[in-house]
Amino acid sequence: MRPAPIASTPRLEDLFLAGLVDRENMTNLDFAMLALEPNRQHYGEQMKRLLPLSRILCAIAVLLLVDANLLGHEPAAGKVYVVLWFDTEDYILPQSDDAAKRLAAFLTEQGIQATFKVVGEKARTLERRHRTDVIAALQKHAIGYHSNTHSQHPTPAEYESLLDWETGVAEFSRRERPGFDDVQRIFKQKPCCYGQPGSSWAPQAFPSLASWGVGLYLDEAEHVGLNGQPFYYGGLLNIFNTREGPQLRPNGEWTNIQESEDKFRRFYEQMTSNGGGLISLYFHPCEFIHSQFWDMNFARGANPTREQWQIYPLRPPDSRERAFSYFEQFIRYLKSFPQVQFITGPQAVRLYADGAREHRFSASEIVDIASQVESEVNFQVLGAYTLSPAEIMTLVAERMTAQPRADTGVVLPFTIYGPSLPSPQMTEAVVVTWSQFECSAHDVYRFIQYNHQIPNAVWLGSQSVPPEAFLVAMAKIARKLMNGGAPPERVMVAPARLATEQYVAVDSPEIWSWPIFPPGFHSEHLLELARLQAWTLKPAKQSE
Ligand SMILES: [Zn+2]
């Protein structure tokens, strides 16, 4: 993340990224509050679980809740979790080091832990400048990763835009892993999360990050999103494309503290009365002091040598102080609300731990799951966990190919990614024999176990069909077989659609709006790969 190109104007890019400004029509500021989705059914589910129990149990439960309130322990349901994070990226302006230290020290003094997403070159620069004091101040917080060199070209989306799935995954690791290792070495902490520079997002980053042990994608942009709520995508928890945090940002002069407080209070009231929620709030240490972003050196595709980098001036002292007091006042204000709880990246990962990973799926559960598969293939939200389309396909394929009487339970021990390549076009239904269909189901199961991925095509002899079409047919039959029915003589595979693709943006220059990109940069290819990974998408549920 890296917002506005010019500090003296409102953070238009931020607003754009938050969907509040039409880039083509910049005067059209729409600060209308976006409809807040209630933070799902957490509280509702607790109440639902209580319903079948006896009145006595209900009464005890209510008494316990009342008692917990009296003791000052509010039920977790109404909490407003605030993930506060800093893109710590400016490796040119030396005073940005002190800004980061001041913010970290203030938060420590307030008893609040934030998440500092550090750029690899920033970590190396702090080391070169012997800023052990800055490093020590940041170490008291969670450390994340924010790319190796941020805005030096080619940035991640630029180099990934010419690569396919597999080569892109490998290239992300080749280019970005050294900076990750430097941040880990210098801060003596494994970075807990990643977020892209600017809007330089690429889907191939996800398997790389997962293989490094990173469990969280923490940033803002619009390439993929689930109605502003935390979600799983690409095997990572995503706190991304949220709605509230970007509306709580300072304007260019840091004069809108009152508006930000008012907005926060409204969000808080809506969230607490709807079972709770999460606000993702970000700043850049450098923006508290600079006159413009350090990386305008690399604007519009420019790539000057180190000797040519310009150091932009600081803002006047009163303007810098106004920024720090905006921040300090705002944090104190947030802290004054009883249900606000600040959480770090690792705490968010625990809070939204993927319940499907711990679950052993029985045969009857898989029948229920199969019976909910429709021709618009979507994620499923069930009891304590959610399932991505890829997980649903894995469970159904495993059950289809299991011995009829075996019911030892099925687990999902690894992330199943979407296909690497687009699927074949399918315009009309295909009818095949049962023996062919069964043979293809076994092949799909083996493919998933071998590649940890959904195939781009399922072969029915010499005919290929998209995986979503095969899943729908397979789910229908799995249900029948499990209920003791005989396999049909012939199976019809009809066209279907992967409904989760709707959560991936359509390519446009606006999605890639970042002044650092070469003019007009956009990539249909990256969003096509992103849509293939919509197989991995599902809501993240609070586990505590
Ligand atoms: Zn950044």
* Averaged pLDDT, 83-104: 98
* Averaged pLDDT, 208-229: 98
**Is the distance from CB of 143 to CB of 508 less than 8 angstroms?**
no
* Averaged pLDDT, 90-116: 98
87 alpha carbon – ligand 1 mean position (Å): 5
* Averaged pLDDT, 329-335: 98
**Is the distance from CB of 329 to CB of 106 less than 8 angstroms?**
no
- Residue 389 in this model has a pLDDT that exceeds 70: yes
340 alpha carbon – ligand 1 mean position (Å): 26
196 alpha carbon – ligand 1 mean position (Å): 7
466 CB burial (10 A radius; 0-12, 13-18, 19+): buried
Question: How do the domains of the chain map onto residue ranges?
Answer: 12-350, 355-503
283 alpha carbon – ligand 1 mean position (Å): 10
- Residue 30 in this model has a pLDDT that exceeds 70: no
365 alpha carbon – ligand 1 mean position (Å): 44
182 alpha carbon – ligand 1 mean position (Å): 17
467 alpha carbon – ligand 1 mean position (Å): 37
3 alpha carbon – ligand 1 mean position (Å): 8
**Is the distance from CB of 183 to CB of 191 less than 8 angstroms?**
yes
Q: What is the pLDDT of residue 404?
A: 64
Q: Which residue in this structure is represented by tokens 């890296």? A: 2
How sure is the predictor about 480, in pLDDT bands with cuts at 50, 70 and 90?
A: confident
Per the model's pLDDT, the better-predicted residue between 6 and 368 turns out to be 368
66 alpha carbon – ligand 1 mean position (Å): 45
Q: What is the pLDDT of residues 503-516, one digit of tens each?
A: 999 999 999 999 99
Q: What is the pLDDT of residues 258-270, one digit of tens each?
A: 999 999 999 999 9
Q: What is the pLDDT of residue 3?
A: 47
**Is the distance from CB of 267 to CB of 244 less than 8 angstroms?**
yes
pTM: 0.86
Q: Which residue in this structure is represented by tokens 């940035």? A: 155
CA-based max dimension of the chain: 80
In angstroms, the CA 177 to CA 209 distance is: 9
In angstroms, the CA 400 to CA 82 distance is: 43
Cα first-last separation, the chain: 29
Q: How far is CA 436 from CA 57, 163, 459, 476, in A?
A: 53, 35, 9, 16
Is residue 154 reached through a cis peptide bond, with omega within 30 degrees of 0 on the bond before it? yes
Per the model's pLDDT, the better-predicted residue between 400 and 336 turns out to be 336
102 alpha carbon – ligand 1 mean position (Å): 19
How sure is the predictor about 529, in pLDDT bands with cuts at 50, 70 and 90?
A: very high
In angstroms, the CA 424 to CA 495 distance is: 11
Nearest partner of 237 among 277, 193, 281, 199, judged by Cα: 193
Residues whose CB is less than 8 angstroms from the CB of residue 292 and which lie 6 or more positions away in sequence, other chains included: 5, 6, 7, 8, 312
150 alpha carbon – ligand 1 mean position (Å): 7
448 alpha carbon – ligand 1 mean position (Å): 36
Structure tokens at 58: 């209900």
Least reliable range by pLDDT among 29-33, 138-142, 199-203, 290-294: 29-33
Q: Which residue in this structure is represented by tokens 């980061």? A: 100
Q: Which amino acid is at 330?
A: F
Q: What is the pLDDT of residues 302-318, one digit of tens each?
A: 999 999 999 999 999 99
Average pLDDT across the chain, whole number? 88
179 alpha carbon – ligand 1 mean position (Å): 14
In angstroms, the CA 178 to CA 171 distance is: 12
Q: What is the pLDDT of residue 543?
A: 83
**CATH number given to 12-350:** 3.20.20.370
513 alpha carbon – ligand 1 mean position (Å): 13
1 alpha carbon – ligand 1 mean position (Å): 4
478 alpha carbon – ligand 1 mean position (Å): 48
197 alpha carbon – ligand 1 mean position (Å): 4
Strand partners, 386: 381
Q: Is 58 helix (H, G, I), strand (E, B) or coil?
A: helix
303 alpha carbon – ligand 1 mean position (Å): 17
146 alpha carbon – ligand 1 mean position (Å): 7
195 alpha carbon – ligand 1 mean position (Å): 8
117 alpha carbon – ligand 1 mean position (Å): 9
217 CB burial (10 A radius; 0-12, 13-18, 19+): buried
Count of Cβ atoms closer than 10 Å to residue 28 Cβ: 9
Q: How far is CA 391 from CA 363, 413, 497, in A?
A: 15, 10, 16
501 alpha carbon – ligand 1 mean position (Å): 27
